[in-house]
Structure 1
């Protein structure tokens, strides 16, 4: 059994992942807490671990440096938890007939990254199960991008929001993609590197019902901002921004409108949702 849920706990996002493992709690505990075992399933090798509350766990970042976490709970062989920067990772083991029930939670702030986090932890927990079973080498063969895209929809991370301002309204989307910004830019721009101020807006940047004016500002794979038109007149702006995210580019899209176009907010929200998800589907189809 593999259950994944995205919750909100004390105002923060929390992934909760539950596994039924065919290994006793002592074996799972060993896989969770012995440095040589952790290094086989965790994203970073463990350089040092003080297995006590308040103890430090040091990870090898892979570039010659290390970073540290602080252990927040130790109750062998039931609970192991530690804080990595502002994130809290907690593992709870319960004995069941034929093995163990493992409940893993990851508490964090960057909610748009939840699907990427969950797909990554799926690989880690699959590897952990193998380590608990005594494997010296682990093999994980999941389609993490397909899982990411499924979880984006299950978690509602594809949905945008409408904000009201003193001057009008804003439709906003923040979507984690699984390709780098240069590849996303190539799809949106039709392969053009030269999108510049004053140019017509490449069709890939506009949803099918949008009427657009001129590009106001652009930097390849970083941002583009352009006018949108209502009844042939400028009514606001659309802005794409790209920055590194968990597993690929993080896209933030905003459309601003004035009070005179308030009746278009809901249709804009719907149209941009379809456009962004169409982009994600095209990137998924073209991968590899």
Structure 2
């Protein structure tokens, strides 16, 4: 089984972004907690340590296994419970650039919409990063619903979405 892609390419001030959204039947404060509190974040992707007041935290991507290296992320914008912008302090092995990640939360009518964006510039990177973020955001949705995260299989995302994201960023 493959999973249909939901993301899109967007241009902002001359920079291309991968943009994905997810909708939650939860208050904005609850979704904010799911993406910022270390214990809740760990359920679907990883955890962090440090003091955000210093402007950076160390992120551990625990969903990638115990040997995944720690990464330092600079906090560029933090406006609870609506907006978070972070940038990796070191270039990624995948892209060769520092990752710029943006998260915006909006609420209306009892639902919260999460909009995630990552600056991306090349098709080959998009072919793996796009399916990766689809996978992790679906894990977030499942964690918040109390579903079994083992039912979410990365290979199903990669197989069904790589070409879509490669084409979107060509």
TM tier, smaller? 0.7 to 0.9
Q: Secondary structure in 2 aligned to 1:23?
A: coil
State how far apart, in whole Å, the 1-side matches of 2:36 and 2:17 are.
22
2:23 maps to 1:9: no
**For residue 206 of structure 1, what is the aligned residue in structure 2?**
none
Quote the offset at 1:109 in angstroms: 3.7
Give 1 or 2 for the bigger CA radius of gyration: 1
Normalized per residue, which structure has more strand?
A: 1
Q: Secondary structure in 2 aligned to 1:116?
A: helix
Q: Are the aligned partners of 1:94 and 1:102 in contact in 2 as well (CA < 8 Å)?
A: yes
1:91 maps to which of 103, 113, 126: 103
1:125 maps to which of 124, 137, 144: 137
State how far apart, in whole Å, the 2-side matches of 1:37 and 1:137 are.
15
Q: Are the aligned partners of 1:27 and 1:132 in contact in 2 as well (CA < 8 Å)?
A: no
TM-score by length of structure 2 reads 0.75
State how far apart, in whole Å, the 1-side matches of 2:161 and 2:67 are.
29
- Structure 1 residues 130, 48: CA separation in 2 closer, same or farther (over 3 Å shift)? same
- The RMSD of aligned alpha carbons is 2.5
**For residue 79 of structure 1, what is the aligned residue in structure 2?**
83
Quote the offset at 1:56 in angstroms: 1.6
**For residue 255 of structure 1, what is the aligned residue in structure 2?**
none
**For residue 267 of structure 1, what is the aligned residue in structure 2?**
none
2:107 maps to 1:104: no
**For residue 229 of structure 1, what is the aligned residue in structure 2?**
none
State how far apart, in whole Å, the 2-side matches of 1:115 and 1:63 are.
24
TM-score by length of structure 1 reads 0.47
**For residue 56 of structure 2, what is the aligned residue in structure 1?**
56
Q: Secondary structure in 1 aligned to 2:52?
A: coil
1:66 maps to which of 59, 65, 70: 70
Greater RCO structure (CA 8 Å; 6+ sep)? 2
Deviates more, 1:89-98 or 1:102-111: 102-111
Quote the offset at 1:131 in angstroms: 2.8
